[in-house]
Chains A and B, each alone.
Chain A
Amino acid sequence: MNIRKLFVTLLSISIILASSCGCKDARRANEGPVTLRLLTEDYPDSYGLSDTNPLSLVVRHLINEYETAHEGINIELEMLPSAPEEREARLEELRTEIMSGGGPDIYLLQGSGDDTLFSDAAQAMRNGLFYDIHTLYESDDGLGKETLVTAVMDAGAIGDARYILPMRYNFPVVYTTETALKAAGLDVENISISVNNLYDTLAATDDPDWTRYAWPWYYSNSLCVFPEIIDYETQSVSLTTGEVAEYLRRIQALSGVEITYPPSSSWDTYASLSQYPVNDGIVEFQKGSGFSDAFLYVGGLDEALDVTIVAQALNMELVMFPLRSVDGSLVANVTYWGAVGAGCEHPEAAYDFLRLMLMEDTQWELNRPSVPEGGARGRVAAGWPVRAEGSAEILWDEYRGRISAQAGASNGRLTRWARQILQTVDVTGADIPLIDTQIDAVRFGLPEEDGFRRTLMDLSFSNPSDMDLEALARDLVEGLRRHVMEG
């Protein structure tokens, strides 16, 4: 055989091999034992008091249940490492696996953004990295889809296809009190219209007690104030430099209010409702209660339960309203979601597991391990459950049960605060009306959010000129533009 024929033969073999690479034939479960790879992360507890997110523990519990109920199906759990170098190396390996048509079968991940496997879950959907579970989802009559928040669930679908099951969501919420608002002459109807109205009104008070807690680095999602950011269909950035610059000027006006620090003995008067430490899973209120006339805290929907509990225990007339974007629309973020990998050979089995995360037990944390293993009891885990209807009462019931269970573990000892909560508090859906608020837009996280949050924090320590603000705005928009064009 001469060289030319040999080359042609080898080339033909390589083309045949290449065309078969990356293609996997679907195998049916009844052809043998099935192993599903599940990728998730052990996110730190919201308060940073525990390295274990309650949902990670719930996932382990569900895996045991699922394997018991489905003989022949094993689920291999993989936790992404948190150490930076190890994590980066593992992410590179996973990206290469996914590229070659493999990768995990099930993803359970918290949001998206910088330093995550999918920096933008919405983009990942469009790039065909997840399996289309539309048929499985639509034919799933036992899921109780009518009690899931439609706007949030729609974020996981593109047209007729569904790629992601959103499981938790969040949006920024302003917490304040009737007394405080009346004392300052603030009209809740006005300040709840949009973030612009809120900032302008607070800046006009010239009162640091009002402005300080509205600073936006407390927000779980720093970009929630912009209604439209990216148009994935046209691969363009809708947000303009002008819009961002105007927002930064408002922040600067807030930051410009001169702060006079009170004596240390009265620091607790400025404590936000959520800033109490947890001792062995029982809530203790440090330094007693007491708030100044000015009170405002911008947290998230995920804090609504604990804020309501504390307000009731302290007999305060709590006022809460969503922080709306610059044009008055409400933007929410998906904070925890699941998907079936595009390379999954057993998508039905994978979906069967994934749907367990949407069932009531998981959504309302009924199968959450007890404290202290289950983590600090404060905010609900990783955002508010997407099965929102009826969630407030059940979550409160669970919370009450955990306090009592903890008392049992501590020889019946309850702190004064825990006793007060058990005696005076009863949370119903009417106490957290935010759950029924109409959401106008739902997004997954973006990698630029962390950088923007740092920009906002820096604003409070510096006094940039208008040109500097324009430059910062341009940086954000440019970052988003690069994100869209490279993703």
Chain B
Amino acid sequence: MKLSAKNARDGMLLVMPVTLGCLIFYMLPFILVLRYCVTQGVGAAVHFVGMENFAAILQNELFRLAFRNTMRFLLIGLPLILVISYAIALLLKKEAEKHKLLKSVLLFPYIMPVVGAVLVVDLVFGKAGLINKVLLALGLPLRDWLGSPASFWVAVSLYLWKNTGYSVILLLSGLMTIPADQYAAAQIDGASGFAQFWHITVPQMWYSVFFTTVFSLINAFKCFREIFLIGGAHPDESVYMLQHFINNCFENLNYPKLAVASVLLGAVVTAAFALMYSWVMRKERFRG
């Protein structure tokens, strides 16, 4: 057998386990979910309904509320975490080499168990929490932080607190790959700090930013666990997310609704990321 054919065969064999795994545990379930989207009933009662489920869910007020809240959370949380993480990464760039432990410390909130995070939130934002105690001491009116529209900002704060460290690590890794002599050369040429950032750092960090955005999005969806433990299956309207809707539809055995909600969310997120990916690839073209 020619070497190239042998290499190709060996390559196929090596990737086969992962490919099969993806097929069985991702592809197959996804196709099943698509099937649920266009059918009603289970077992012998299954029947094709076309786009009826999609039409029905788009008129479902609760779905619209959940979708709006989820998009609002992502549109506020993702840019905020990127900006804050980027800023921290830039500040820490020089120290990271000297203090190896720093990266581990940054990950502490990320690795904190969900229940621990919920306890912290309750200690700070609960009715008898730290913030209310301070307000009481100052003679200001108390607020129900976890049971009112303010809970949305509590959720955003929790997301930022838990995941900023992780995003900093990812961006820091990208920053460390930029050759130091480029900055040195720019400094010699009299470039300001901002000019160095804009013309050296930013163009070479797009892929890292994209990578960080993907993981930040995954972590944003994981925030549902804390929100669920704090607010239950039906929290305040401001933090009623698509995951709540999907989870409750599962409890009520309405699989078409949860399938359609998942597909619509997946479609929106995929479209957004496809656009971002193609834009980032255009920006990265200079690497060849």
CB distance from B52 to the nearest CB of A (A): 13
**Distance in angstroms between the alpha carbons of A23 and B39 in the assembled complex:** 13
> Which 10 residue pairs of A and B lie closest in terms of their CB atoms, listed nearest first?
A128-B41, A343-B43, A342-B43, A487-B252, A18-B31, A485-B62, A128-B45, A342-B45, A486-B248, A101-B43
Q: Is the CB of A10 within 8 A of B19?
A: yes
- Cβ of A313 under 8 Å from chain B: no
Q: Is the CB of B253 within 8 A of A14?
A: no
Question: How many A residues face the partner with a CB closer than 8 A?
Answer: 44
Contact status of A127 and B41, CB under 8 A, knowing A10-B19, A119-B252: yes
Q: Which residues of B contact A344 (CB under 8 A)?
A: 43-44
Contact status of A21 and B41, CB under 8 A, knowing A119-B251, A119-B252: no
- Cβ of A204 under 8 Å from chain B: no
Q: Which residues of B contact A101 (CB under 8 A)?
A: 42-43, 46
Q: Which residues of B contact A123 (CB under 8 A)?
A: 252, 254
Q: Which residues of A contact B47 (CB under 8 A)?
A: 128
The 0/1 profile, CB within 8 Å of A marked 1, for residues 46-80 of chain B is 11000000001000111100000000000000000
Q: Which residues of B contact A341 (CB under 8 A)?
A: 43
Q: Which residues of B contact A23 (CB under 8 A)?
A: 46
Query: How many residue pairs between the two chains, A and B, have CB atoms under 8 Å in the bound complex?
Result: 108
Contact status of A14 and B45, CB under 8 A, knowing A99-B253, A127-B254: no
B residues whose Cβ falls under 8 Å from a Cβ of A = 12, 19, 23, 27-28, 31-32, 35, 40-47, 56, 60-63, 234, 245, 248-257
CB distance from A151 to the nearest CB of B (A): 25
Which one of A18, A103, A124, A132 lies within 8 Å of B28 (CB-CB)? Answer: A18
Q: Is the CB of A128 within 8 A of B42?
A: yes
Q: Is the CB of A21 within 8 A of B250?
A: no
Q: Is the CB of B257 within 8 A of A486?
A: yes
Most chain B beta carbons < 10 A, residue from A21, A124, A485, A487: A485
**Distance in angstroms between the alpha carbons of A26 and B251 in the assembled complex:** 28
CB distance from B58 to the nearest CB of A (A): 13
The 0/1 profile, CB within 8 Å of B marked 1, for residues 117-136 of chain A is 01110011001111110000
A6 nearest in chain B by CB position: B12
CB distance from B125 to the nearest CB of A (A): 22
- What are 7 pairs between A and B in contact, CB < 8 Å? A17-B28, A99-B253, A128-B46, A129-B42, A131-B45, A342-B46, A486-B251
**Distance in angstroms between the alpha carbons of A120 and B253 in the assembled complex:** 10
CB distance from A477 to the nearest CB of B (A): 13
Q: Is the CB of B62 within 8 A of A129?
A: no
**Distance in angstroms between the alpha carbons of A119 and B249 in the assembled complex:** 11
- Cβ of A54 under 8 Å from chain B: no
Q: Which residues of A contact B35 (CB under 8 A)?
A: 18-19, 22
Q: Is the CB of B19 within 8 A of A26?
A: no
Which one of B44, B56, B62 lies within 8 Å of A131 (CB-CB)? Answer: B44
Q: Which residues of A contact B31 (CB under 8 A)?
A: 14-15, 18-19
CB distance from B243 to the nearest CB of A (A): 12
**Distance in angstroms between the alpha carbons of A95 and B35 in the assembled complex:** 18
